[in-house]
Structure 1
Amino acid sequence: MRATARVLVYSDDASTREQVRLAAGRRPAADLPPVEFTECATLPAVLKELDLGGIDLCVLDGEAVPAGGMGVCRQIKDEIFNCPPVLLLMGRPQDAWLATWSRADAAVTLPVDPVEFADALAGLLRKRLAIGA
């Protein structure tokens, strides 16, 4: 098993980034390595981190401003080779069609529900890290 899984969290709102960290905990599931978070508050910071490599999963806030997570998701899916899976945070369940448009791999609603979020995060990490596949 890898030492850590690197998760990029993008939101302009520090409390949303904190919700994500608290919901995931140190390890979202017993069969996964501990999670190391990289927090970004701007699109340029997201792109820089992805260019550096080593990110296993992205959590993007669809409500972020000025660059919303849905647009960011679509952009990185187009521009980043072997783009990590994306878990999108949506403001409303009715925005699920936009999550599909953005090509997010999974989506959950805000505020972050710890159980729903940890399950979605763990499922995407298992696929990315090929655990239990």
Structure 2
Amino acid sequence: MSPASDATQADSIPATVLVYSHRPEVRDAVRTAVGRRPAADVGPLTWLECATGDEVVAAVDSGGVDLCILDGEAQPTGGLALARQLEQEVPDRPAVCLLIARQPDRWLAHWSRAEGTLPLPIDPLTAPGMVADLLRAHARRPVVRR
């Protein structure tokens, strides 16, 4: 490695990203589209997969999650409801990005207090940029003590 790449690696933001969907193919598509390093200054990412809403709440409650990517179409608990629940119940919740099937549903993402949205199917050209932007913003925000 060159000194320049060593400096980039040292300045990068390691992060844990939770991806939630009841469908394993959606979770896999998100991980594949975003990858382990969505930008030169962000990563490596550790992925945490959740198939139920209870798993999401438990993971966020235990701490260490920097970003939640939640499937708005998940069953039986949708990502929109989970995002709203986390906003109301977790003082220092991770950043939230919602997967939405229809662009008109962006208002629901706004209602749920999500910081970002990604359309389904996942676009591998735009997903890494959105994830990197959300992780950078999360890293800059002040820590709220419980």
Q: If the length of structure 2 is used for normalisation, what is the TM-score?
A: 0.86
Distance 1:51 1:101 in 2: 22
CA RMSD of aligned residues (A): 1.1
Cα shift readout 1:5-63 (whole Å, capped 9, x = no counterpart)? 10011100000000110011110001112000000000110111011100001000000
Q: Given the alignment, which residue of 50, 69, 76 partners 2:60? A: 50
Task: Tell me by how many angstroms 1:125 deviates.
Answer: 0.5
**Secondary structure, aligned partner of 1:123:** helix
Answer yes or no: is the 8 Å Cα contact 2:13–2:41 preserved in 1. no
Q: How many residues align?
A: 130
- Aligned partner of 2:106 among 81, 84, 96: 96
Runs (5+) with no aligned partner, structure 1: none
Task: Output the TM-score relative to the length of structure 1.
Answer: 0.94
CA distance in structure 2 between the aligned counterparts of 1:2 and 1:67, rounded to whole angstroms: 34
2:51 to 41, 45, 70: 41
Percent identical: 47
Residue type matched to 2:98 in 1?
L
CA distance in 1, matches of 2:115, 2:67: 10
Name the SS of the counterpart of 2:40 in structure 1: coil
Between 17-26 and 3-12, report the one with greater CA deviation.
3-12
What is the rounded CA distance, in whole Å, between the counterparts of 1:26 and 1:100 in structure 2? 27
Dislocated runs of 4+, deviation >3 Å:
none
Which structure has the greater CA radius of gyration? 2
Structure 2: gaps spanning 5 or more residues: 1-10, 141-146
Structure 2 counterpart of 1:120:
130
The residue number in structure 2 matching 1:81 is: 91
1:111 aligned onto 2:132: no
